[in-house]
Structure formats: structure tokens, C-alpha cells
Amino acid sequence: RYPSRLAGVFDAPPFLFASGSVVPDDKGMSVVGSRKMSPAGESMARDAARILGERSLTVIAGLAEGIDTVAHRTALDMGARTVAVIGTGINRYYPAANRRLQDEIASAGLVLSQFFPDAPPTRQSFPMRNGTMSGYGMATIVIEAGERSGTRIQARRAAEHGRPVILSRRVAEGTDWGAAIARNPWVYVVG
């Protein structure tokens, strides 16, 4: 039952904890970005999740505040599948404000964690989570992110995994890291 796409990456976690419906060959894309989103970022996250859902693709995100929350909520509201890859144990709720959302995702989609069930959030757990999220999906869509955003870790991991990265023009033109990776053939700049 281990997700097949994730199993194919070099840094796949040795085990996963799941709450919800595991689909071994889940076809989806990560929608990631800033916790402190702009109105334009919120709109783009909603549009990205809607487009994925309309094409029967799973919306994958990290259950963080901001862009992740909008992507998950949009998928749930339209009846599309969504997967939350979290940076804590499966028995934890982080952030606490997304407790209800996490339970909804577990009921209608899937919550995945590579950490022991009661593990708290740590400085290392979120970059590890980003790598798992990249490996799980077919591509990563970066909506909005700052210069020091953890989102850049996922973009870099996606490259290491051989997965395409779709960058918003705002990230490609507004951050040094976005401009640097935008020159690669596996990166597509949109909007």
C-alpha cells in the first residue's frame, strides 16, 4: 500500500502513517506557498486546486496556514481528492487552527506522516515533509513564496526527484532562488 510514486524516489521514508484512503498510484500535484498569502496568491491557489480537481487530479499540500489551507479547502468544497502531508505525527494537529480541516481531509481524502504518531513539530520535520510531498506528487506548483520560504526546499527536492516545478511569475521574478531555478528546463513559469 506504499504510494508507488513516492517509493520511486531516493529519499522515500521507510514507513508512513496514514489516516484516510490510501491510493497506491495517486495522481496529483502539490500546491504550495506562503503562510502569509496575498489576495492574488489566495486566488491563484484556489484556481490551481480547482483546475486540478476538475481534471480528477489530487490536490496535495502540507496543511499549513495560507496557501496550503486554501488548496485543501477548495478541493474539499468541490468534492475533489486532497492529500495532506504533515510535518508532525498523525495524532497531532498543527497548526491547531487546522484541526477541523485535518479531520475533514482524513475523512474524505488522506493525511500522511512519516513521523511517529505522537511526534511534535520540529525544525527538521517540515523540510523532510516537503521532500515527501514532492516525491508523492507528479509535480509541484509554487504559488507564492518569500526569499527564505520553506517552499524553496520543495522546489529543490522536486528537481532532485525529476519532477517538474511550476512557478508563479511572482516567485520567478520576485525572489533570487525563483529566478535561479526558473532557468532550468524542468521549471515552467506561469501567470
Mean pLDDT of 2-24: 96
Count of alpha carbons within 13 angstroms of residue 75, beta-carbon side? 33
pLDDT digits (tens, 9 = 90+) for 160-177: 999 999 999 999 999 999
Mean pLDDT of 176-190: 94
Cβ-based neighbours of 189, under 8 Å, separated by 6 or more = 166, 167, 168, 169, 172, 182
Please state, as a whole number, how many other Cβ atoms lie within 10 Å of the Cβ of residue 92. 18
Distance, CA of 143 to CA of 183 (rounded, Å): 17
Distance, CA of 48 to CA of 174 (rounded, Å): 20
Distance, CA of 129 to CA of 114 (rounded, Å): 8
Residue 139's pLDDT band (cuts 50, 70, 90): very high
Cβ-based neighbours of 1, under 8 Å, separated by 6 or more = 22, 24
Longest CA–CA span in the chain (Å) reads 41
Residue 38 has pLDDT above 90, yes or no: yes
C-beta separation of 59 from 50 below 8 A: no
